[in-house]
Amino acid sequence: MSNQPNLTFIVDQITKLLIFLDRFPVQIQLGVILISILLSHGLSYGVRKKIKQQFKQFTITLNKALEEETILAPYWCGLCLIPELIGRGFNLILLTLVQNLLTTQGWITGLLSIAIQLLWVYLFYRVFVIGLCLFVPLHRVKEYKFYFFRPIFILYVLREILSLFVDINQLMQVEVINLFNSPITLGGIFISTVGLYFWIVAVSIFQYVILQVIVDKTELDSGAFQASLILIRYFLIGLGIVIVIGYIGFNPTAFAAITGGLSVGLGFGLKEIFSDLISGIFLLFEGSLRPGDIIEIGGELSEVKKVSIRATTVQVMTDNSEKIIPNQIFFTQELKTMTGSDRRVRRCLIVGTSYDCNPQQVIEILLKIIYEHPEVLNDPAPLVNLINFGESSLDFEIAVWLATPIGGKRIMSEISCEIWKTFAENNIEIPYPQRDLHIRSDIRKEVS
């Protein structure tokens, strides 16, 4: 017979909670806590509204920081803290006064003590979140607050409240179901769902923090480092899943038999996905494709934004749209990369001049224009060559090297406009195509 508590334990605890809430001193404390929260919330809202009225730039700065994904200056973080400090401070003072008053009357004040403790934790939580805005972009802080920090605080509050009348450790041992000859408890379900969720989010935060701290402050190759972090992330997530399975205590023999049988069926139905997964692993290990690389795929020039296990996200440069490409495509189709071992790229331009010009003068003018452009590299040196005697023009080829493939069309357009302007100043003609027409005057008529 199992000694673990069953579901009747939960029913008993609910009955105990109802009896606890039915006590008059408990109701008084709950009422005081609720009133103090409402008053402090109203006070915080009023102070925040007053700050927005007095400092018109406050709201504009917050919205701008969200749009531009930047951090907040200490001054604006201080303004964000003022409503919290005033509201929570008022709340703490009020609850402390009521607690002392009830204590002098000989009443129990356990709930008030817990509420004061939670308020201190909440104040620290708010100061911590606002302080993060000094180091982390505001949009990231809002995201992590919603998905990570706030849920953790809510779980902490629930735990502290439940611990007043329930043995948390015993509650976590309540058996819900028996699976694979292994009892599944509330604690196991909690760890396998909520715990695994927090682990995955924490790994993502860890990946972002490490990337910002190391890449921004060192000269490491960001693409290679991001690829390494992706591998570490999936390793940590896999490790978390293994730990959860071990914590729940599944029968390893039964678990292996079931997963082995499922893998055969899933292998046929999801072979394309498995192919993408294997391709993603090879991509990450080989480093042949990294975030920040410029590639040409499907006839479009794109920048690699994210390389994950199943698919790669690229941003098309022509219209700024994003494509999610299955990883196996990079192994089954020809791929052209502009940033494989060297980000420099060579661009060429053909210019035609009339036969009346001096070719050497044209070459000198073109070289001067190229060298004056700030984004053209001097090493390798640009070249200008007379390559052809055309039907109506002398054809010159300009070859320049650029530091990156991004912006190549814009740079060549700027050079072309400058060539047009300089040729006009030096009376160098860019000829139109010329054709000689011979019109015959003798028209022969057919004689039937």
C-alpha triplet 262, 267, 270: angle, nearest 5°: 110
Quick one: pLDDT band at residue 448, thresholds 50, 70, 90?
Answer: very low
Instruction: Give yes or no for a contact between 111 and 33, defined as CB atoms under 8 angstroms apart.
Output: yes
Task: Kindly report whether the global pTM for this prediction surpasses the value 0.75.
Answer: no
Instruction: Give yes or no for a contact between 314 and 363, defined as CB atoms under 8 angstroms apart.
Output: no
Altogether, the residues listed in the chain come to a count of: 448
**What per-residue confidence (pLDDT) applies to 447?**
47
Q: Answer with the one of 314, 337, 360 that is the final residue of a domain.
A: 337
- If asked whether residues 206 and 304 sit together in one domain, one would say no
- If asked whether residues 23 and 45 sit together in one domain, one would say yes
Q: Which residues form the domain of 9?
A: 1-173
Q: Encode pLDDT of 91-107 as tens digits.
A: 888 888 888 888 887 77
Quick one: pLDDT band at residue 1, thresholds 50, 70, 90?
Answer: very low
**Residues facing residue 125 across a β-bridge:** none
pLDDT greater than 50 at residue 250: yes
pLDDT greater than 60 at residue 152: yes
- If asked whether residues 121 and 12 sit together in one domain, one would say yes
C-alpha triplet 368, 370, 371: angle, nearest 5°: 65
- If asked whether residues 325 and 390 sit together in one domain, one would say no
Residue 139 lies in a domain: yes
Residue 439 lies in a domain: no
- If asked whether residues 81 and 150 sit together in one domain, one would say yes
Residue 9 lies in a domain: yes
Residue 108 lies in a domain: yes
**What per-residue confidence (pLDDT) applies to 417?**
92
pLDDT greater than 60 at residue 257: no
Q: How many domains is the chain partitioned into structurally?
A: 4
- If asked whether residues 381 and 415 sit together in one domain, one would say yes
Residue 442 lies in a domain: no
Quick one: pLDDT band at residue 45, thresholds 50, 70, 90?
Answer: confident
Residue 247 CA to residue 192 CA, distance in Å, equals 9
Q: Which residue would you say has higher pLDDT here, 220 or 349?
A: 349
- Name the percent of the chain lying above pLDDT 70: 84
Residue 187 CA to residue 255 CA, distance in Å, equals 20
Q: Which of 6-10, 187-191, 229-233, 375-379 shows the lowest per-residue confidence on average (mean pLDDT)?
A: 6-10
Residue 447 CA to residue 445 CA, distance in Å, equals 6
Residue 435 lies in a domain: no
- If asked whether residues 397 and 349 sit together in one domain, one would say yes
- If asked whether residues 404 and 386 sit together in one domain, one would say yes
Sequence-separated (6 or more) residues with CB below 8 Å from residue 378? 371
Q: Answer with the one of 337, 363, 382 that is the final residue of a domain.
A: 337
Residue 57 lies in a domain: yes
Within the chain, how many helices (H) and strands (E) appear? 17, 10
Q: What is the mean pLDDT of residues 74-84?
A: 83
Q: Which residue would you say has higher pLDDT here, 433 or 119?
A: 119
As a 3-state breakdown, the chain gives helix, strand, coil percent values, each rounded to 5, of 60, 15, 25
- CATH number, domain at 292? 2.30.30.60
- If asked whether residues 10 and 96 sit together in one domain, one would say yes
- If asked whether residues 351 and 227 sit together in one domain, one would say no
Q: Answer with the one of 337, 354, 372 that is the final residue of a domain.
A: 337
pLDDT greater than 80 at residue 409: yes
- In order, the DSSP letters of 354-420 are -TTS-HHHHHHHHHHHHHHSTTB-SSSPPEEEEEEE-SSSEEEEEEEEES-STTHHHHHHHHHHHHH
Residue 446 lies in a domain: no
